[in-house]
Structure 1
Amino acid sequence: MKTVMCYGDSNTFGYDPTNGMRYPRAIRWTGVLQKLLGENYLVISEGCNGRTTIYDDPLEGWKNGLDYLKPCLNSHKPLDWVVMMLGSNDLKTCFHASAEAIAKGASILVDTIQTFTAEKQGFVPKILLLSPPEIGPAISESPFRFAFDESAITRSKAFAPAFQKIAEAQKCYYLNVANVATASTWDSLHLTPEAHQSLAEAVAQKIRCIDAKESDEEEGKHEY
């Protein structure tokens, strides 16, 4: 059985923008991913509302994604996959962060995953870096407008090239979530059930294709 850890923020936690609660497991993209991948995979959901890449939230400092990463990796080892989607909360006005700076924060997490797992579990898991969905056009009317200004819209549109560059530099896999999922009209930030479904489908396809290719290559080595 292969173990897949999904490390992210409220969209991995499964925040429901219509009521501020949590979607049922069967709706969350991590829960859908488990169903799609089947019994040969174990999907671990590690989502936390408000989690950043490397920034300390001035009100809730415990949401720094770097601080929790090593304990999390160590708790769930051995890991075959780490799927990471962080960066949306880094767009908060208080951080004054560009898309490039946010991607740099994600690169620090990728490097931490690679070096820490090499030491603690003896091999590096495959890493799938997801560039977060774009901020919706009505963020100024969102319940979260106190934290995000309209510049977050433009900066989020620059996520895809910035994150792809990081993935290529650090030799991990990449998926542009904006191509498969959009933020809800409720708050311009969190995903709808339909977006959770489409995101899960895209991640599942990526994981299955990569693992199948790797399996075929291994079989080819033993052919005479």
Structure 2
Amino acid sequence: MAADIMLRRLVANKAREEGLATRKDILDRLKLAEERALYEIYMEQAESKAVSESQVEAIARDEYKAFPEKFTKPEEVRARHILFRACGSDRTASRALAESVLEKLRNGESFEELAQKYSDDPGSGKRGGDLGMKPKGTMVPEFEAVAFAMKKPGELSGIVETNFGLHIIRFEERQAPVLRPFDEVKEALMESVRTRMRGEVRKKIADPLRDPATIKIDADAVRRAVSK
């Protein structure tokens, strides 16, 4: 950072020595840069005076209490599956294999071992078909409808068809919706409130100054500055 500042300063000095700082088009650009910097400094100081961290946290806590649904983790289910992709155009063979594996499961054979052996989902297959915890909206609709309808750990589905192929699903567990602690969402929520409050401060300053009758623009200077 310090090296960058020094380099900019040295190059700026060279620009002055070569007379760039006295050219009309460069002066226009310098004026715009100065106004932009002063604008930001003024707004930042106004924000600093008007927006306190205690206010931000108080508003954040009020919003957390008023809209708990925004901060609630949705219901999730954990399931295992065995996937049978269609063998080319021969869906009959895939279904026959799926039905035979389903029969093995109903006869008490290990879901995990059969998933490792037969599943065409390489990721979950290595984990015995385990898909981990999943909220609604993260699975294909046909699969999700069955997974969320199941109730008892160890419960088996029939054969479920999706655009990925045929699935056998085993229900593992369900987690009810849970309100996340304030401390868990505090930082992001306060940043949202802080940004909104800063925007309101800037708007309060800017709106009275936007009256066309009070604004005079040197269009030629702006055109010269932005064209360089």
With the shorter chain as reference, the TM-score category is under 0.3
Larger radius of gyration: 2
TM-score by length of 2: 0.22
TM-score by length of 1: 0.22
Structure with the bigger RCO (C-alpha within 8 Å, sep 6+) is 2
